[in-house]
A and B are shown apart, each in its own frame.
Chain A
Amino acid sequence: MEEEHEHVSGMAPIVGLSFAVTGFGLLEFSQGNYAMAFLLVGIFLAVVVGSVVKEIKKRSETVEAHEDEEVPIQFKKDPIFGFMGKKLWIWIFLISEVIFFTLIIGLSFSLRLVVDEGLGYREIAKFCGLPTDSNLFGLYPAGWVDQEGRAPHEVLDIPLTTLNTFVLITSSYTMVKAHEAAEKGDFLGKWGARNYLLMTAGIGATFLSIQVFEYVSLIINENFTVQSGLFGATFYLQTGFHGMHVLGGIIMILFMVYKIQSGAMKDSSDVEITGLYWHFIDVVWIMLFTLVYLV
């Protein structure tokens, strides 16, 4: 028990605070105070790099100390969240992902409030200090339409994307089943973690294939490209970044399958953190499906 206290990680709140510091850094940057901005972002980077190095050092020491006992590191408790190790780091990574997707989805939607008279809410745009100009940047035709004046529901294939949404939420289900199996120690069985992970990767690949098919048919049949006004640009920005994240997730999952197959998987923590990332991508898609396709 004494040893457990030695390995308690106090880095979480410090890293969290440094995120706030970098937020102020970005504000300074937007106001042109570059020196202050670089200083604040520098503090953030120093804290993150420092804590990563510290954590790696601590973990390698812990692993050495516990080699005989085989006590996995993730069962040590962090005073803030109640867990640590890889799981703490994937949550910190997800914080950066929340910021990233909030920014690109928020930016796209704020642009829509600016140009889309049909949606209303020009008052909100005015309140935010945004311009209210249907013809922002001199794009023609005005409004939330492509170069031929078509609104989202006239261009996008909603039934196909609805099918794709079912595909992605199903993959979240198989992923959570993989984690469940891994926690029970069932890696190679018929309903074990490996098979569920393979299913998840397969369903994820199906999602991507449908998305590629959608892109190709939009570009070739509908002449809807990244240059089709603000609507086209933000559509490909949001769905493209999401698709790349799905691809990254599939690579992670296949790596986990390899790890299980080669016998290197000792506990469920790797499956768990892969799952957390995968489910987060699902959460992002739920928001995208609503804001990009349905509204």
Chain B
Amino acid sequence: MTEETHEHPSRPYFKVLVILAVLTIIEVSVTYTGISEAILLWILLSLAFVKANLVIAFYMHVKYEPKPWLLYTIVFVLPFALAFPMAFFPTVG
């Protein structure tokens, strides 16, 4: 087992935590600026998308897996693409 022990000293976990906190503060601040809800929706969704992908890439260490894009596609993109139309299109199929 010892030779298999993973050593990755410089993973930026704390940096990611700080970025997540800053993005959260930006998100909440933006809601108080009085931008119209229709535009606000896209700003907030973009920020949430970045935050979610930071957690997936670093904390779920998808970035460090042997095949990150394949894993990301199979676990997140495809199931989302399958389920999303079912929630939004009542006549899907």
A binds B: yes
Residues of A whose CB lies within 8 Å of any CB of B are 16, 19-20, 23, 26-28, 30-31, 70-72, 75, 80-83, 91, 94-96, 98-99, 102-103, 105-107, 109-110, 118-121, 128-130, 153, 158, 162, 165-166, 169-170, 172-173, 175-177, 180, 183-185, 267, 275-276, 279-280, 282-283, 286-287, 289-291, 294-295
Inter-chain contact B17/A170, CB cutoff 8 Å: yes
**B window 39-59: CB within 8 A of A:** 40-41, 44-45, 47-48, 51-52, 55-56, 58-59
Q: What chain B residues lie within 8 Å of A290 (beta carbons)? A: 27, 44-45, 47-48
Among residues of A, the one whose C-beta sits closest to the C-beta of B36 is A120
Q: Cα distance A103–B1 when bound, in Å?
A: 41
Could you tell me the distance between the alpha carbons of A107 and B82 in the complex, rounded to whole angstroms? 14
> With A30-B92, A175-B59, A294-B28 in contact, is A120–B38 under 8 Å at CB?
yes
Tell me whether A172 and B59 are in contact (CB under 8 A).
Answer: yes
Given contacts A98-B83, A283-B55, list 19 more A-B pairs with CB under 8 A: A19-B82, A30-B93, A72-B4, A75-B4, A81-B65, A81-B66, A98-B79, A98-B80, A102-B84, A109-B87, A162-B28, A166-B21, A169-B55, A184-B5, A282-B59, A290-B44, A290-B45, A294-B27, A295-B37
CB distance from A84 to the nearest CB of B (A): 12
Identify A267's interface contact among B1, B20, B52, CB under 8 A. B1
Given contacts A110-B88, A129-B90, A295-B44, contact A102 B79 (CB under 8 A): yes
A172 and B79 alpha carbons, distance in the complex (Å): 23
**With A31-B93, A130-B90, A173-B14 given, is the CB distance from A276 to B1 under 8 Å?**
no
- Tell me the complex Cα distance, A97–B90, Å: 21
What CA separation (Å) do A56 and B56 show in the bound complex? Answer: 28
Shortest distance from the beta carbon of B23 to any chain A beta carbon, whole Å:
9
Specify the main secondary structure of chain A where it touches its partner.
Answer: helix
Bound complex: CA of A31 vs CA of B82, how far in Å? 17
Q: Which residues of B contact A72 (CB under 8 A)?
A: 1, 4
Q: 25 A-B residue contacts at CB 8 Å?
A: A19-B82, A26-B86, A31-B93, A91-B74, A91-B75, A95-B79, A106-B87, A106-B88, A129-B90, A130-B88, A162-B28, A165-B24, A172-B55, A173-B13, A176-B59, A183-B5, A184-B5, A185-B5, A279-B60, A283-B52, A283-B56, A286-B48, A290-B47, A294-B44, A295-B37
The reply to whether B93 and A169 form a contact with Cβ atoms under 8 Å apart is no
Count of B residues near A, CB < 8 Å? Answer: 53
Contacts of B92 in A (CB 8 A): 27, 30
B79 and A99: CB pair below 8 A?
yes
Given contacts A102-B80, A295-B41, contact A286 B52 (CB under 8 A): yes
Q: Is the pair A295, B38 in contact by a Cβ cutoff of 8 Å?
A: no
Q: Is the CB of A280 within 8 A of B60?
A: yes
State which of B28, B79, B93 has its C-beta within 8 Å of the C-beta of A158.
Answer: B28
Residues in chain B near residue A107, CB distance under 8 A = 87
**A249 CA to B71 CA in the complex, in Å?**
22
The interface residues of chain A lying within 8 Å CB-to-CB of B41 are: 119, 121, 295
A239 vs chain B, min Cβ distance (A): 16
Known: A99-B79, A180-B13. A70 touches B20 (CB 8 A): no
